[in-house]
Amino acid sequence: MLKKILEINNLMVNYGQVKAVKNISFEVNKGEIVSILGSNGAGKTSTLFGIMNVVKNKGRIKFKGINISNIPTYKRVKSGLILCPENRRVFYELSVEENLKMGAFIRGNIKKNLKKVYDLFPKLYDRKKQNAGSLSGGEQQMLAIGRSLMGDPELFMLDEPSLGLAPIITDEIFNILLKLKKEGISILLVEQNAIKSLEISDRAYILENGKIIQSENAKELLNNKKIKKAYIGM
């Protein structure tokens, strides 16, 4: 029997009168890659923000079997729930290595995890003394992922990791996610590149107007003509 690492029940996220996420429920099992798909404005990022408690939300969130609905964001991070946000959000004036060390501020072994990140992303090691603002877009995305990994995530949530990247860099990042899965890290992925996302995922949920309209095995979704036309553009 699969062990659930994340259980979401009736999650709601509102921005004033705008209901961005409407009573959704889903789960991630330990060791899985699960994708959340949907068009722009469907509520994908708001779902991740709600799970991390960086926006006001209602509902029940259980992580590793413990109800974390009422605990602050930093305690969620301390427990191993970590988000790599959209648009990288690196500290441009700090060096690559300084950025990475920031990721272990609340949780994680700096020495051990620096080695791990540099093994995954050798380009970051080569540029460890450079300011993050001097990196290319792809290198900044690697840095954002590496910084998140410095916190030893047990559930790693990523928001649009391939946004604005060349296909060869996207392939590299998705291969890294598969490596992380083999290491036992569970992954919740929000990604516009639905095909790439489904190719590496075990399961997927489709969001539309803040509601989950379908959940299925990722491979079955890849072969669903209706879904491919509506959400994958094929």
pLDDT at 228: 67
Is 13 domain-assigned? yes
Residue 156 lies in a domain: no
Q: What is the pLDDT of residues 110-141, one digit of tens each?
A: 999 999 999 999 999 999 999 999 999 999 99
Residue 225 falls inside a structural domain = yes
**Are 161 and 190 a contacting pair, CB within 8 Å?**
no
Identify the CATH number of the domain in which residue 222 sits. Answer: 3.40.50.300
Domain assignment present for residue 149? The answer is: no
User: Is 91 contained in some domain?
Assistant: no
Residue 224, pLDDT score: 80
Q: Would you say residue 234 has pLDDT above 60?
A: no
Q: Is residue 121 included in any domain, yes or no?
A: no
Number of domains present in the structure of the chain:
1
State how beta strands 186-190 and 66-67 pair: unpaired
| Residue 8: inside a domain | yes
Q: Which domain holds residue 13?
A: 1-80+187-234
- Whole-number pLDDT of residue 233: 57
Gap between the Cα atoms of 58 and 181, Å rounded: 30
Quote the pTM value: 0.94
Q: Please report, as a single letter, which amino acid is at residue 35.
A: S
Token pair listed for 99: 């950025």
162-191 pLDDT, tens digit each: 988 889 999 999 999 999 999 999 999 999
DSSP for 111-151, written as a single string: HHHHHHHHHH-HHHHHTTTSBGGGS-HHHHHHHHHHHHHTT
Residue 50 lies in a domain: yes
**Could you give the 3-state DSSP secondary structure of residue 174?**
helix
* Sheet containing strand 33-37, strands side by side: 81-84, 155-159, 186-190, 33-37, 203-208, 211-217
What is residue 110's three-state secondary structure?
helix
